[in-house]
Chains A and B, each alone.
Chain A
Amino acid sequence: MRGRPHLFTSYEGEQSLLPTWTQRVMLALFLVLLVTIPLQFVPGVQFLGSDSWLLVLNRVMIYAIGALGINILTGLAGQVSLGHAFFMGIGAYTAVVLGAPASDRFWGMGLPIWIWLPAAGIVAAIVGIIVAPTAVRVRGLYLAIVTLGLVFIGEHLFRNLTFITGGAGLGRDWPELAFRFWKEEEPLIDFSSRGPWFGIEFSGAAKTYFFMLVLLILFTLWHKNLARTRIGRAFQSIRDRDIAAEVMGVADAKNKLRAFAISSFFAGVAGALLGALVGRLVPETWNLLLSVQFVAIILIGGAGTTAGTLLGSFFVVAIPRMVEDLTRMLSVQVRTDGPFAWLGDFIIADQGDFGLVSTVANGPGLSIFQTNLALYGFLIIIFLIFEPLGLFGVWIRIRNYWKGWPFSY
């Protein structure tokens, strides 16, 4: 059976999470790599273990959890949703009300993480179930526009419910990432401040990294497993041909409702984690752009695939950081007249010369933030035009190239 990944001789083999030994070994190696990143001893990826990059990776993992959620709804069940940011907001504010301490201006209950994190997902899922009957009635592109309306309505609510959200442009503090049994002073496990674990000194970012990694692995397993269960197969049959699915006895509305609920659960947890990671978020965070980012993640990664979703999250979240680094490097090159100074001259606009990107505020050309945004838009367009299957499609093409080598097919 070697070299024939799609040849199955039993139903168990076809349904297993990792059908081939190559996949198992690769995954094990990848997991070891992920665990050792903060320890910084694998050559080549040591820079990822620095605190600033760990922050980016933590965000990548939170986005990956959210993206896995929208992948269930859009990738598996085929329902296009632009309302993901709304459900993330619901989860985030559930977490803040349950987890943050009360003050005279804000609601809060100061409960521990093992209550507020699952509750964030559950409340978001319940809101998803409430919204679903409207969403199930409309189909295709109508659904995209309806969920777009949801984001705007949500933004209005979040801006005005000041006792929960802290008010427009201000926000409030989220509970920290720390494990307590109840409301005791000293947390049992602290995920966000520097200290030793098992005799090794870790920074706060590294501890958060391990916490997120465990969560991400759990959610990835859930997602991967869901796709092969009865419910997951029902989702896929609705995506592929809803009438045929109904004829075969797959309840259309019921399964769409399930997809909304599960997807919202993922979104709620991701929203709560994002709030806890950043510490303070304004209500305008949960806007259309955030929703579009999630759609972009699964499109760039490859809709319907687990590996693609994770890759897409890394790509979409880490790109702004890379653009920032690149711009900084180029501006240093210009200043010191390095070998890439000509490229920097061309791209960076300063002191009145022409260029695409400017490093000073209000200069000519786009700011770094705007460059990132424009690059997003451009990448979404380019990926859809040239590689509709996303990064996963690129991987398939590389794999097929080596499979057939030295022949072209």
Chain B
Amino acid sequence: MLASLPLLLAQTAPVDPAVQASGGGLTRFLAMLVSGIALGAIYALLALGFVIIFKATQVVNFAHGAIAAVGAYLTAYFAVTLNFPGSLIGGPRWLQWSLSAVVAILMTAVVGLVLERLFIRPMIGEPLFSVAIITLGIDILVRTITDDFIGTGVRPVGDPWGAGIWNIGGIRIAQTQIVTVLVAAAAMVAVAAFFRSRTGVAMRATAFDQEAAMAQGIGVGRIFALSWGIGAALAAIAGIFASVFPRSPGVMATTTAFFAFRAFPAVILGGLDSVGGAVVGGFVIGIVEVAAGTYLSPYADVLGVGFQGIVPYLVMLLVLLIRPYGLFGTKEIRRV
């Protein structure tokens, strides 16, 4: 009896304590902006992976959140429970942790490849709707199994920055947020560089026209697998940084996966098939959400606790009323 069980799908969006402590006026605004950009970077990574998968394979991947949770869990497992590849090399703690995280991200990419090969590849040529619903099935399957591994408690990912806060002229910024923005920027640059490489051009060609790409000798199946691998890796990075200090104390069952659902508004805002739009949409949604959390928290008794968690969806509905294909999406041409 699934419906009767109290499924606590907590989609709480905690207010950043660093922003709250940053006094008022301009300093608070700037702290809010940095926090928003950091959250936006996470959304942008999720949206980017989502759009890459959608453009290359025309699959709307509802399992993206579950994959992000897999990445976060694997990081917690490698960095905290096993302390495996990190402890082999010496050096500073952040280097050890990064090595564990990279291993986890690569393993998540492999999970993405396996999912694509098992469940998506047989569906080539089937209606897009059916494939989208298959990803909903994958979401339930992967999320349930991951939740079982995570268990009932909270699993910290063991990042070396912890709850550290830098105070720059009264503007208080969590250290993890700077790292988030740097890592996200690096990942985006890597993706942009990849699109200029030989394989990246092949992927763009496949997104443009599968048959023509095939006629040019591009292995379309390989490109499909690759796009899932990249998408899963980006989701894993986002999942890890969604599970650190200001956002969450660690990886939690269902919560981490459902966090990623809030990246859908970012995708829609930018337009389902626009890579640049996904990044822009991610940052917009991130900043709006943190701004709502900062400035609307006095009105929590009217708007409800955790109101900022649904702000992304409200923004999405508003944008779709005005522009049904998002800000940068391709308008569908309807031919008779």
A159 at interface, CB cutoff 8 A = yes
* Residues of B participating in the A interface, judged by any CB pair closer than 8 Å: 1-9, 11, 60, 119, 122-123, 126, 128-134, 136-142, 144-145, 147-148, 151-152, 261, 264-265, 267-268, 272, 303-307, 309-310, 313-314, 316-317, 320-321, 324-325, 332, 334-336
- Chain A residues with CB under 8 Å of chain B are 59, 80, 134, 137-142, 144-146, 148-150, 152-153, 155-157, 159-160, 169, 243-244, 247, 274, 278, 281-282, 284-285, 287-290, 292-293, 295-296, 299, 320-321, 362, 365-367, 369-370, 372-374, 376-381, 384-385, 388
Contacting pair A381 B137 (CB below 8 A): yes
Given A142-B324, A160-B304, A366-B148, A385-B134 contact (CB < 8 Å): yes
Question: Chain A: which residue is nearest B142 at the CB level?
Answer: A377
Inside 8 A of B321's CB, which chain A residues have their CB? Answer: 134, 137
List A contacts of B8 (CB < 8 A). 169, 284
| Total cross-chain contacts (CB, 8 A) | 168
Residues of A within 8 A of B134 (CB): 380-381, 384-385
Listed residue (B3, B9, B261, B304) with the most chain A CB atoms within 10 angstroms of its CB: B3
Take A290-B3, A373-B2, A380-B136 as given contacts and tell me if A156 and B129 are in contact as well, using a CB distance cutoff of 8 Å.
no
- Whether A284 touches B264, Cβ cut-off 8 Å, given contacts A153-B313, A362-B152, A377-B139, is no
Q: Which residues of B contact A377 (CB under 8 A)?
A: 136-142, 144
Question: When chains A and B are docked, how far (Å) is the Cα of A71 from the Cα of B128?
Answer: 18
Which residues on A sit within 8 Å (CB–CB) of B332?
139
**CB <8 Å contact, A320 and B138:** no
* Alpha-carbon distance between A140 and B148 when the two chains are bound, in angstroms: 34
Chain A residues closer than 8 Å to B6, beta-carbon distance: 169, 282, 284-285
Residues of A within 8 A of B316 (CB): 145-146, 149
21 A-B residue pairs with CB within 8 Å: A134-B320, A141-B129, A145-B264, A149-B265, A152-B310, A153-B313, A156-B11, A160-B303, A160-B304, A247-B336, A284-B9, A299-B133, A320-B2, A370-B144, A374-B140, A376-B140, A377-B138, A377-B140, A378-B137, A381-B134, A384-B123
Residues of B within 8 A of A385 (CB): 119, 122-123, 134
Contacts of A367 in B (CB 8 A): 148
Can you name the residue of chain A whose Cβ is closest to the Cβ of B60?
A141
| Residue of chain A at shortest CB distance from B140 | A377
A373 with B324: CB separation less than 8 A: no
CB B127 to nearest CB in A, in angstroms, measures 8
